[in-house]
Structure 1
Amino acid sequence: MSNNSNSLTGKNIAITGATKGIGRATATLLSSLGANLLIGARNENELRELTSILSDNSVKVIYQHLNVEEENSIIEFLNLGITKLGKIEALINCAGYGSFNSFLETTTEEFDRMISVNLRGSFLTSRYFAQHMVENKSGQIININSIAGNTVLAGNAGYSASKFGLLGLTKVMQLELRKQGVYVTSILPGATNTAFWDHIDNYPDRSKMIPSETIAMNIVSILSQPDGAVVDEITITPPLGVL
């Protein structure tokens, strides 16, 4: 982790998909470092419970039900953050959905859902928050992608399509936004030990996966970069490589 992590004290950061996996680990770590948080997810009970826990760190934590497939939900999420916290200085897109089948067995509904959440949802959330950041001439956006975003894996037809698309989207965002003071990073984790795998049959040994807390530490490092450098993209793999 960067030694500059104390720079996060008082920083206003938004996290989507905040109640589970990488999102929850990141929210927990950031709040312990003094960041104020705007957290969103589909399950309001889980949001309320997490907010109660994180508020014990003497930071501001506000939550909003968020469905990244619905444009109005994203607008309400951003507006609440601006109203309650002021300038939003960073956005971490953790919301995601995966369903794994062979190309021939992938249903239209499964494919559409992954494109809608992983690609379209990240596009919409990033666009609205980036507009706010451009107005303020500064900001950071971190898109949580996947190793499936640049590596071909059998059984990942729809998931890879959404994540390859997200990687391309992120590269365009980097090119267009950096001159306006907004920096964008793509993180491509390998298999990470989260509840993502709970409904997936025949998953790899979860004890050999990356702990979600490790991804959170890398996110903190990116948010804490000293002046003069920007991290465009990092790939993080389990010690044994792609599982």
Structure 2
Amino acid sequence: MVKEVNLAGKTIVITGASKGIGKETAALLESQGANLVLGSRNNKRQLRGNVLELTLDVTDENSVIEFYEQAIQQFQAVDVLINCAGVGMFESIVDSKTEDFDQMLNVNLRGTYLTCKYFGRQMLHQGKGHIINLASVAGTTALPGCGGYSASKFGLMGLTKVLQVELRQKGVQVTSVIPGSIRSSFWDQIDPKPDMADMIPTETVAMHLLSLINQPPGAFVDEVTIMPPLGIL
């Protein structure tokens, strides 16, 4: 049972909103009354109540700019940006495909850079805002088979730390959320698929994100690590 939180009047942008953590978080925040801007490659533009769904390819800067502009046109301001868009392919470095490595860097790192860049400018203009970047324990720990994924997530951790020191004094909070393995569609293309029974449910991550958005004033949260009860996997 989620404690009732009134997010009416708050505008929250979520990338990667068509599945996994993004989809679960969008459903939870909608139930709490937030204005939502949901971006995904699978979305078609539609407005239903206080929810604006838009097509977004975070690897395409023009797509990110159009997504940003439509969000501001609809709601005038943005309180929170949650970067959930991500992709992972897992092989040893020597056996991996270069195009897979490039895709993980483009989506997980460069895509987050682009959304932080444009929405961060808006938050600086407002003098307030909160950016939440979904990193990974693979961005803090060396794991076999995670070369490209870890490179993108270690890079994302560095990007987030720089954003923290650049934006903190100007009223904009930036938080890394660092989960272990999550029970989601992320694993659908992985062969063999790992046992997901003891992984973190996506709804649990969504509730942690809601808590971050609704945190008490007077402090900024730089990092949150969320682990499955039995460890990384």
TM range (shorter): over 0.9
Counterpart in the other structure of 2:138: 148
Counterpart in the other structure of 1:213: 203
Q: For residue 201 of structure 1, report the CA deviation from its aligned partner.
A: 1.1
Q: For residue 162 of structure 1, report the CA deviation from its aligned partner.
A: 0.2
State the TM-score, normalized to the length of structure 2.
0.96
**Any conservation in 2 of the 1:2–1:225 contact (CA below 8 Å)?**
no
What is the alpha-carbon distance in structure 1 between the residues aligned to residue 199 and residue 22 of structure 2?
Answer: 17
| Number of equivalenced pairs | 233
What is the alpha-carbon distance in structure 2 between the residues aligned to residue 4 and residue 194 of structure 1?
Answer: 25
Q: Name the stretch that deviates more: 59-68 or 200-209.
A: 200-209
Give the root-mean-square deviation of aligned CA atoms. 1.6
Counterpart in the other structure of 1:20: 19
What is the alpha-carbon distance in structure 2 between the residues aligned to residue 122 and residue 26 of structure 1?
Answer: 18
Counterpart in the other structure of 1:5: 5
**Any conservation in 1 of the 2:17–2:38 contact (CA below 8 Å)?**
yes
**Any conservation in 2 of the 1:143–1:185 contact (CA below 8 Å)?**
yes
1:63 alignment partner, SS class: strand
| Structure with more relative contact order (C-alpha pairs < 8 Å, separation 6 or more) | 1
What is the alpha-carbon distance in structure 2 between the residues aligned to residue 167 and residue 2 of structure 1?
Answer: 29
What is the alpha-carbon distance in structure 2 between the residues aligned to residue 33 and residue 147 of structure 1?
Answer: 29
State the TM-score, normalized to the length of structure 1.
0.92
Q: Which has the higher helix share?
A: 1
**Any conservation in 2 of the 1:5–1:221 contact (CA below 8 Å)?**
no
2:197 alignment partner, SS class: helix
What is the alpha-carbon distance in structure 2 between the residues aligned to residue 27 and residue 5 of structure 1?
Answer: 14
Counterpart in the other structure of 2:57: 67
**CA deviation profile, 1:67-114 (whole Å, cap 9, x unmatched):** 000001011111111111110111000000100000101111011000
Q: For residue 2 of structure 1, report the CA deviation from its aligned partner.
A: 9.3
Counterpart in the other structure of 2:32: 33
